[in-house]
Every structure is written in C-alpha cells, then in structure tokens.
Amino acid sequence: MTPLQVMKRAAYRAAWRSGALAALRWLHRGRLPILCYHSVVDGPEPGWAQHSGGLHLPVAQFRAQLEFLARHYHVVSLEAAVAELAAGKRPRPRSVVLTFDDGYANNLSVAAPLLLEYRFPATIFLATDYMGQGLFWWDDPRAKLEGRGQVLRAATVDERRRLLEAWAPPPDPGLIEALRPATWDECRAAPPNIQFGGHSAAHRLLGEIPPGEARAELDACRQALSIQLGGRAVPLFCYPAGQWTDAIRAALPAAGFRAAVTAGPHRSDQQLVRPGDELTLLPRVGVTDRMTLAAFAARVAGL
C-alpha cells in the first residue's frame, strides 16, 4: 500500500468515526450516487482475483455494503432516476442507484439473490456479443502479458478469440465458471428487480474504432437486447471503459438509448450526479474489492 493510500484510509476512518459522513450525506442530499460494480464472487477472494484490478468483489463484502445502504439510503432504479432527472426534478434525498457492468453470470447467481433479499433494484449493462461465451478478454490470463491488452481493447470478439488461442492453452475451467458472462436464459430468469441495459456489442473501446463501427456496436447491442429480453431491457447505455466521443453521444438516441453512464478512471467520472447533468454523461462511483466499508461509505457520501 502506498503512503497516499494509507493516508486516504486513515481519512475515511476518521470521517466514519467522527460523524462527518452523516453531515456530508446531508450536504449532498440533492445529489445522486450511481454505484458501479462489476463482479461479485462467492466465498473469500480467490487468488486470481487479487490481480484483477479490483473488479471481483467477495460476496461478504458486498453484503456488508448492502446492509450499510439499507440503513442510510433509498435504493432506486436507474430508469426511475433518469426519468426524474429528465423531468428536471431533484433526486429524492439519500437516493442511490446500483449498476453492474459487463454482464457476469455471478451478477445473477451471487448478487441477485442478495439484491432481492434487500428489495434493491439494479441495472446490469450487457456486452451482448459475450453472452454465453467463455471469459471476457480482460479476465483471461493469456491477455495479462504486457502489451497484449492494448491489442485486444478495440478488437472484435472473433479477433480476440483467435489471438488468445494462438498465445496459449485455455485457462482453468474453474476460473471460467466463476467469471463467465451470463447467458440470455439466465438474464430472462432474473428476478423482477433486475433490469438490463447496453454496454455495446463486443465491449470495444468506441473512441478507438472508426465511427461507423462504433455506431454498429450501438445498433447491434440494442437490437440484441430487444430481441432477447423485450421489456426487461431499458434504453440505458454504459460506455465501455468510460470511453465516449461527441459523435457516439449524438448517435445514442437513434440507436434507441435515452441516457448513458460513464465508467472511466478519471476524477470527473467519479462524482455524484447533480440535477442538470447531461443525461448521456452521468458519472458513477466505482466500487472495488479494495474498499473498506469506511471508504465505501465515504465515497457514496461524496468524499
């Protein structure tokens, strides 16, 4: 842990113990935290998850966060929050939204039962070309060597598969089962508090491919959602890796998407939503497996 990380943790603990977070929640009562999750894994954190960039949250940590939200916040659906923002209304005080990126099967097998237990709505953004496939490329150990990720970021699913197969044998089946994308059947069987939005077709970085291919990613994603999920799919989009351009934003309505959230690592992407924010650039707060509960509470409060 770096000295800066140690200082941040100490600051979060101090805010937690002093009651400053309660004051901050009151100060930011008109703002909306949209939380960005990825994967929730059953049991303690596996060894491979320690090198995953914080994407794979142990279920016990996830439950502790839900328990905290149940005590201090009102969890609302992203669709309802967008409707209020579009109407110029302020979010209900202490509202929070839960979202999941990519479409991991464990969102449905591990996270969804807990969300149903707490009666919390959530939106899962699906990279539709990956439905029922083996692994997302960033979870594949064959993609971890230096330089390979850069090659795969903008590639199609078929191009990624060919490259990965050429580099090394397939990864351990246990890892594949733990981190595989969901199937359409699993999504259709999800409890009613779960909705599904778009995360492009192949999770290509839309700003790094030709505009025509980027628009095709939007269209293919929305079409797959409509065909496979019907009314379970909502017209909401999440930019892969938070990467967007003005042309992509302008193409969203024609592709059938009403609003979009960011998912990037920049400070401007890690904020609470304010009334009047652009509906196609709604910021979120990222949640990782490295967050203590105090840090989680501080980030949700806007610290």
| Below-70 pLDDT ranges, the chain | 1-6, 11, 14-16, 18, 43-52, 264-269
Contacts made by residues 42-50, CB under 8 angstroms, sequence distance 24+ = 42/106, 42/109, 42/110, 42/178, 45/289, 46/178, 48/141, 48/175, 49/289
DSSP string, 263-301: --SSGGGSS-B-TT--TTSB--EE--TT--HHHHHHHHH
DSSP 32: B
Task: Give pLDDT, residue 16.
Answer: 64
List residues bridging with 101 in a β-sheet. 125
**Helix (H), strand (E) counts: the chain:** 13, 10
Task: Give pLDDT, residue 269.
Answer: 65
Task: Give pLDDT, residue 81.
Answer: 97
Q: What is the CATH number of domain 31-288?
A: 3.20.20.370
Give, in order, the Cα–Cα distances in Å from 239 to each of 20, 27, 65.
33, 29, 25
For residue 119, what are its two tokens? 């009666």
Q: Tell me if residue 19 falls in helix, strand or coil.
A: coil
Give, in order, the Cα–Cα distances in Å from 299 to each of 2, 40, 73, 74, 294.
19, 19, 13, 16, 9
Task: Give pLDDT, residue 264.
Answer: 65
Task: Give pLDDT, residue 247.
Answer: 95
**CA-based diameter of the chain, in Å?**
55
List residues bridging with 110 in a β-sheet. none
Task: Give pLDDT, residue 54.
Answer: 82
Q: For residues 54 and 230, what is the distance between their CA atoms, to the nearest angstrom? A: 32
